[in-house]
Amino acid sequence: MRSMKQKLSLGQSYLLLALFPAYFMIVGLFMQPPSEILSGLRSIIREPDFLITDYFVIGGIGAAFLNAGLITLVLLFVLYLLRMEIDGHTLTSCCLIFGFSLFGKNVVNIWSILLGVYLYAHYHRTSIRSYLYVGLYGTSLSPIITQVMQLESLSLAVRIPLSFLIGITIGFVLPPLSTHVHFAHQGYSLYNVGFSSGVIATVVISLFKSFGVETKSRLIWHTGNNLEFALILGGLFAVMILAAIILGKETVFTSYKRILKCTGISGTDYLKQEGKASVLLNMGINGIFAMLLVLIVGGDLNGPTIGGIFTIVGFSSTGKHLFNIAPIMFGVILASTTKDWSITDPGALLALLFSTTLAPVAGEFGVLAGLLAGYLQSSVALNVGILYDSMNLYNNGFAGGIVAIFLVPVIRSIRSRRARAKGDLSL
């Protein structure tokens, strides 16, 4: 019998990861009649999908899980074909793609952006392996592709190639821009591509408006299945924790304690540093914490919030842990008691979950800094979407970059009386 300690082959590791999307695809078959799932998938592909568009409402729960599962399986297959070793970013991108495929990404609108990233790598005579994760994260701009496909003022013969060209252009400019903006926030916002995507979306939507193309706001939000989703998610996270304990045995908690001491600044890879067992434990604990917090504040479990929960779970391999996400999230809750909105409002609930992009701020500077970051993030995240008509799915990534750029230098200057600006200051 194969020893539990024997290292799995690359193919076996990817097959193990594939159980995650397969689980939800099977669950979807029990939550929506199979006869309705394909028609629901067609509705998901045809509908506009900028924020906030819950695929549970558009196509049904089964169709949404099928869409997310199929995209994630294709992602894993591509990564396997490229023989990419599984690291923390593999887990992060897998969870991120799945989560956002419940409210914005579908099996049609992501490919031109990925092609643009491939062409960028080819142009620079570099392997796509170097930029693939940037491309996967950059599919946050996929609603733009769908929007162009649905411009009624243009003929279908123009819309399709135009949307394709725009997607390729977005993908081509993503890698250099993402590298550049990282220096602005210095890794204190984990959703770096979300920040660069916000910049791109602002430029693209500004061009759209210059040609008279306007986008109407929307709010499509599923309610009424909290118990079912809590059982589905809770079961998965419980299995993660149990598997971690079985695999890591007595060493897993020691390793997990080391994770809790990390700042989580962008570039962290817990899978390489601490191994599979402790990362599984971290993912499971964070998933349960995020899910319970949504329920405790009276929020809804649906496509967008489950996407937010899985974003936390995914980044639990590359920066997030309980000690650096809790202060940020409590800062958002604190903000809801003093500001002109409720924590159960859809935008506020998403801010509660996605604000954890600023986890490194709490990890580096402490609880009070984390509370302040969450407090500020809630306001910025609820207002920056107007710049790009909610076409950037990683809205909190853009907001988090702004908050980090604003807050981190201030905190550093307060912490050190001898802090001096380096280089020339200019407007």
Residues 80 and 190 in one domain: yes
Helices (H) then strands (E): counts for the chain: 20, 0
**Residue 60 belongs to a domain:** yes
Residues 194 and 305 in one domain: no
Residues 182 and 233 in one domain: no
pLDDT of res. 156: 86
**Residue 51 belongs to a domain:** yes
**Residue 2 belongs to a domain:** no
| Alpha helices, DSSP H, located in 32-155 | 34-46, 55-58, 61-81, 88-100, 111-123, 132-138, 142-149
% of the chain at pLDDT higher than 90: 83
Residues 201 and 245 in one domain: no
pLDDT band of residue 218 (cuts 50, 70, 90) is confident
For the chain, how big is the Rg over CA atoms in Å? 21
pLDDT of res. 427: 43
* Tally of structural domains, the chain: 2
Domain carrying residue 241: 226-421
**Residue 82 belongs to a domain:** yes
Cα→Cα distances 330→268, 340, 349, 375, Å: 23, 17, 12, 8
Last residue of a domain, one of 211, 246, 262: 211
**Residue 5 belongs to a domain:** no
pLDDT band of residue 6 (cuts 50, 70, 90) is low
Residues 164 and 300 in one domain: no
Mean pLDDT of the chain: 92
Mean pLDDT (whole number) for 276-294: 97
pLDDT in tens, 97-143: 999 999 999 999 999 999 999 999 999 999 999 999 999 999 999 99
Last residue of a domain, one of 184, 211, 238: 211
pLDDT in tens, 349-392: 999 999 999 999 999 999 999 999 999 999 999 999 989 988 99
14 has a pLDDT exceeding 80: yes
Closest by CA position to 201, among listed 190, 180, 215: 215
Span of 147-161, 288-302, 336-350 with lowest mean pLDDT: 147-161
Residues 250 and 122 in one domain: no
Mean pLDDT (whole number) for 240-259: 94
pLDDT band of residue 250 (cuts 50, 70, 90) is confident
Residues 408 and 299 in one domain: yes
Query: How much is the pTM?
Result: 0.94
**How close are the terminal C-alpha atoms of the chain, in Å?**
67
Residues 280 and 377 in one domain: yes
**Residue 3 belongs to a domain:** no
423 has a pLDDT exceeding 80: no
318 has a pLDDT exceeding 60: yes
Mean pLDDT (whole number) for 64-83: 96
pLDDT of res. 381: 95
Q: What is the DSSP letter of 297?
A: T
Cβ-in-10-Å burial (0-12, 13-18, 19+) of 269 comes to middle
**Residue 216 belongs to a domain:** no
417 has a pLDDT exceeding 80: no
Q: Which of 264-268, 272-276, 369-373, 410-414 has the highest mean pLDDT?
A: 369-373
